[in-house]
Amino acid sequence: MRRLTAVVAGRCPRCLDGRIWRGLFSMNEVCPVCGLRFEREPGYWTGAMVASYALGVPILVVLIFLVWLVTRWDVTFVLAVADGLFILVAPLVWRYSRIVWLHLDWLVDPVRG
Ligand SMILES: [Zn+2]
């Protein structure tokens, strides 16, 4: 439960306390509380692309359904409007994809010390 709260709040996978993000589009290189280096190695964020897909597709499906429910437009217009709305939430998906990736990677292969 503490880990889930840390994921939602964007906290470090090791101490569950330090902020991962210091701004809307900028990450801390290391955890300000425990010193964990977030980007373990070059190419580390490639795994976050999978998390981004896993987060983004369900959100897009919900947006498509909601736009269709409200408007009952033709599918082409529904897809266009839903895609436009998705662009608005894309920065959040991007942020959370990195947070989710950090926590999943931590659960599989934690860095001690
Ligand atoms: Zn930490």
| Beta carbons within 10 angstroms of residue 5's beta carbon | 10
Residues β-bridged to residue 27? 21
User: Residue 44 corresponds to which tokens in the numbers above?
Assistant: 């580390």
C-alpha 19 to ligand 1 mean position (Å)? 8
Q: Sign of the C-alpha dihedral, residues 90, 93, 95, 98?
A: negative
C-alpha 37 to ligand 1 mean position (Å)? 9
pTM of the model: 0.88
Task: Specify if 37 maps to a domain.
Answer: yes
C-alpha 35 to ligand 1 mean position (Å)? 6
Find the domain containing 49 and state its range.
Answer: 2-108
Task: Specify if 74 maps to a domain.
Answer: yes
C-alpha 12 to ligand 1 mean position (Å)? 4
| Percent of the chain surpassing pLDDT 70 | 98
- Which of helix, strand or coil describes residue 85? helix
Task: Specify if 113 maps to a domain.
Answer: no
C-alpha 111 to ligand 1 mean position (Å)? 11
Q: pLDDT digits over 50-99, tens only? A: 999 999 999 999 999 999 999 999 999 999 999 999 999 999 999 999 99
